[in-house]
Amino acid sequence: MMPPTKKAVFFDRDDTLIIDKVYLNDPKLIEYMPHAFESLKTLKDNGFDLFIISNQSGVARGLVTVENLDLIHAKMEEDFAKYNIKFTGIYYCPYLPESNHPDRKPNIGMILRGEREHGIDLKNSWVVGDRLTDIEAGRRAGCRTILLKTQYSRHKDQGPQAHYEVSNLKSMAEIILRS
């Protein structure tokens, strides 16, 4: 079997690609982070597969329905498609933090699904997120990591350090393309 050769960027969703509305349950309320479209388009045009990996405990809490979560992701796919951006995969973990489910970040189940289902080379891939659970998952999976610290970031977690920290998605794309 051939070793995986595709490079990817695995993005957290809330406060990374879209502004976190805390248990978003309505696709009409999606607001994108600044530079989201042009930054992901640049990565896609430079050969990166793009994934969303998102903890969604609102499902287990009864605050978000799976149907609405699917509609939110369909709306995001539709909006990004207007810029010729297609996500290779959108994965979410609907379980509570205390479940320690293999898919729940900082565990790496969603990243490993992307690797397995799409032939991703994790050593040449990135994880981008606003929480240190994203960074820890990326490091555990053997990816390089970028912590996005913006005006929207509310989380002051303690944990492993990211390879890079940026204040916006444009800087994130520049770092990935330089590396």
Rounded Cα distance between 16 and 139, Å, is 18
Q: Is 118 strand, coil or helix?
A: helix
**Catalytic residue chosen out of the listed positions 14, 103, 130, 134:** 14
> Are 52 and 87 spatial neighbours (Cβ–Cβ below 8 Å)?
yes
What 27-33 contacts at long range (C-beta under 8 Å, 24+ apart), as own/partner pairs, is: 27/68, 27/71, 27/72, 27/74, 27/75, 30/72, 30/75, 30/76, 30/79, 32/79, 33/150, 33/152, 33/168, 33/169
Buried b (16+ CB within 10 A) or exposed e, 61-71: eeebeeeebee
CA–CA distance from 110 to each of 1, 42, 132 (Å)? 22, 24, 16
Active site residue 12: yes
Rounded Cα distance between 148 and 165, Å, is 6
Active site residue 14: yes
Residues annotated as catalytic are: 12, 14
